[in-house]
Amino acid sequence: MSQSPLHQQTLSQLASGLHKKSFSSVELTSHFLDRIKQYDNQLNSYITVCDKTALAQAKAADERLAQGNAGPLTGIPIGQKDIFCTQGIKTSCGSKMLDNFIAPYSATLIEKCDTAGMVMLGKLNMDEFAMGSSTENSFYGPSKNPWDENTVPGGSSGGSAAAVAGGLCPIATGTDTGGSIRQPASFCGITGLKPTYGRISRYGMIAFASSFDQAGPMTRTAEDAALFLNAVAGFDPKDSTSCEEPVPDYTQTLNDSIEGLTLGLPKEYFTDDLDSSIATTLNDAIEALKKLGAKVKEVSLPHTDYAVPTYYILALAECSSNLSRYDGVRFGYRCENPKNLTDLYERSRGEGFADEVKRRIMLGTYTLSAGYYDAYYLKAQKVRRLIAQDFHKAFADVDMLVCPTSPTTAFGLGEKTSDPISMYLSDIYTIAVNLAGLPGMSIPAGFVNEKPIGLQLIGQHFQESKLLNVGHQFQTVTDWHSNMPANYR
């Protein structure tokens, strides 16, 4: 048995222990299931715990390990965000609308995890239909941040972030539409990677905004994210937005020197909007990268101020279209004793969706309606192109961008629920990356008032290897990623 407890080890350490027979997958899985029983009453990070399925998968993984035909992730437990369809298991998307939905098939991401021999511990809590920045919009109640249970873990992948930070799973999946992997990773002091749009299949992932949504890993380290990306990235013929781009071995370049790499600091991200304590801490992190040989240069992303309104016009229009399928007829929640078809539609949707989802559907429908389409939707599409061009120009001078992940540390539960605009602005530094379809990663970079903060790395299309390389090199000279909340050690 390794010296540190199993829940404090990285994926590579756990994989090494499994292959050396230091412990079995059944023992490892049981350890995490016990921790879920012990701690998840406080964190509310899981919606569904799949203990029987997990132990059966762990037993099968041990057989593969014994036969010597196991892969790097065989026997490793994982928590899946409850947005990925999982055959035979409730897939709720955090909503009353899908509280009774048992998925008839599995998402490609789930299938790839199964093929790799990973063990699914359960389905993780999230904002309803991934709409939110705090995981307070879940039908199953808010998740809590293990660093301070009076604060939010971020959103929409807050259950995933809380579970990894609290040691209730060694890795979790998240989805990122406007920052929903990176912002909770920052709030919970873990590593979160949003790959290039189309890098991981979206097939079987319940849609919020189809031209933005992207799945990715939430882990302790950049190395762990690289291991997972190796297993799940790649083209999927079932997903029309999937890219036929070759998949490199992301672990191969982790140890490359970053000497001579030019990092761009977007001046629009380092303004008075950023908490001064966070700015100071991030400057220390940037200094650590400079000591590793990286060069720093100021760049400009002039259309930054338009990112949030542009995103909310386009994403809400897509959400209005995607969520029209929930009508009480084919699957999901259905109202009782409808008088007629109109009553069935109105009450099923009225009772099945909560306030934030209704707000977004209504705003999206408004911007798509006759008379407003040209004024809002079409204009926003043009600004989206300008934002993408800003990045393209910046990358002509630098290798990647380095900036804050969030303007604040984790805020209090209930602090922003009555002010949706304030909530939307918590994604101010992450949204533009989704508008441009670029890869972005948040890595732990220190603490402000005993709360974690993240440093965001933004790369060019399909340059995840570079992000992971810089993240890994940073984590070889810092230990922020190995900190765990005192109550969960």
Tokens 């809002």 locate to 376
**Which residues make beta-bridge pairs with 81?**
124
Give the pTM.
0.97
Rounded mean pLDDT, 98-126: 97
pLDDT tens readout for residues 233-286? 999 999 999 999 999 999 999 999 999 999 999 999 999 889 899 999 999 999
**What is the rounded distance in angstroms from the CA atom of residue 206 to the CA atom of residue 228?**
21
Mean pLDDT value across residues 37-59: 98
Confidence of residue 3 (pLDDT cuts 50, 70, 90): low
Domain 19-262+462-488: which CATH class?
Answer: alpha beta
Rounded distance, CA 153 to CA 298, Å?
31
Question: What type of residue sits at position 284?
Answer: D
Where does the pLDDT of residue 426 fall: very low under 50, low under 70, confident under 90, or very high at 90 and above? confident
pLDDT over threshold 50, residue 124: yes
* Tens-place pLDDT, residues 127-185: 999 999 999 999 999 999 999 999 999 999 999 999 999 999 999 999 999 999 999 99
Asked if residue 461 has pLDDT above 80, the reply is yes
Instruction: Give catalytic residues, as residue numbers.
Output: 81, 156, 180
For the chain, the domains span 19-262+462-488
Residue 46 pLDDT: 98
Q: What pLDDT sits at residue 2? A: 43
Q: How many CB atoms lie within 10 A of CB 368?
A: 17
The span from the CA of 359 to the CA of 323, in Å, is 12
Please give, one letter per residue, the 3-state secondary structure of the chain: CCCCCHHHCCHHHHHHHHHCCCCCHHHHHHHHHHHHHHHHHHHCCEEEECHHHHHHHHHHHHHHHHHCCCCCCCCCEEEEECCECCCCCECCCCCHHHCCCECCCCCHHHHHHHHCCCEEEEEECCCHHHCCCCCCCCCCCCCCECCECCECCCCCCHHHHHHHHCCCCCCEEEECCCCCCHHHHHHHCCEEEECCCCCECCCCECCCCCCCCCEEEEECCHHHHHHHHHHHECCCCCCCCCCCCCCCCCCCCCCCCCCCCEEEEEHHHCCCCCCHHHHHHHHHHHHHHHHCCCEEEEECCCCHHHHHHHHHHHHHHHHHHHHHHCCCCCCCCCCCCCCCHHHHHHHHHHHHCCHHHHHHHHHHHHHHCCCCHHHHHHHHHHHHHHHHHHHHHHCCCCCEEEEECCCCCCCECCCCCCCHHHHHHHHCCCHHHHHHCCCEEEEEEEEECCEEEEEEEECCCCCHHHHHHHHHHHHHHCCHHHCCCHHHC
Average pLDDT over residues 416-432: 90
Handedness of CA 481, 410, 358, 370 (dihedral sign): negative
Q: What's the sign of the alpha-carbon dihedral 377, 434, 45, 135?
A: negative
